[in-house]
């Protein structure tokens, strides 16, 4: 009996997780990139993922020295690190090339994530 009661809750949780995972901010980086290290100090994965923007598009870090993973081979024409690519449903939505300062990055990221379609929770807001 309990299993039947838990099934709807599990389905709701899985749908929410899938919606969150639909968009990711991919950071193309190199271990020897000083601007990548600066981004990590000033913004960092922790701060990003805890922010409203980061909850909509969690960060995925990729060391380009190791090559791009199979699911990101479609990301082409990048040359500089860090490059931040917003990927939604397997497609590139846009990118931020380089890093200059935290305030400028947050502004660029907000503009970039504004390109995402609104989720059900945003649509319900008045």
10 lies in a domain? no
Asked if pLDDT for residue 20 goes beyond 90, the answer is no
Least confident of 6-10, 60-64, 80-84, 101-105: 6-10
pTM of the full structure: 0.76
Q: For the chain, how many structural domains are there in total?
A: 1
In a domain, 17, yes or no: no
13 within domain boundaries: no
**CATH assignment at residue 95:** 3.40.30.10
Could you tell me the residue range of the domain that residue 77 belongs to? 22-116
Q: Is residue 7 part of a domain?
A: no
pLDDT of 107-118, one tens digit each?
999 999 999 976
Give exposure, 19-54, as e/b (b: 16+ Cβ within 10 Å).
Answer: eeebbbbbbbbbeebeebeebbeebebeebeeeebb
pLDDT at 19: 47
**In-domain check, residue 124:** no
């Amino acid at each position: 009996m309990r299993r039947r009661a838990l099934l709807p809750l599990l389905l709701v949780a899985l749908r929410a997780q899938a919606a969150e995972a639909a968009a990711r901010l991919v950071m193309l980086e190199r271990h020897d990139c000083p601007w990548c290290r600066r981004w990590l100090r000033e913004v960092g994965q922790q701060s990003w993922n805890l922010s409203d923007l980061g909850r909509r598009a969690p960060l995925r870090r990729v060391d380009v020295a190791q090559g791009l993973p199979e699911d990101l081979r479609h990301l082409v024409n990048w040359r500089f690190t860090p490059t931040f690519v917003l990927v939604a449903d397997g497609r590139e939505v846009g990118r931020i090339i380089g890093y200059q300062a935290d305030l400028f990055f947050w502004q660029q990221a907000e503009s970039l994530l504004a390109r995402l379609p609104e989720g059900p929770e945003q649509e319900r807001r008045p």
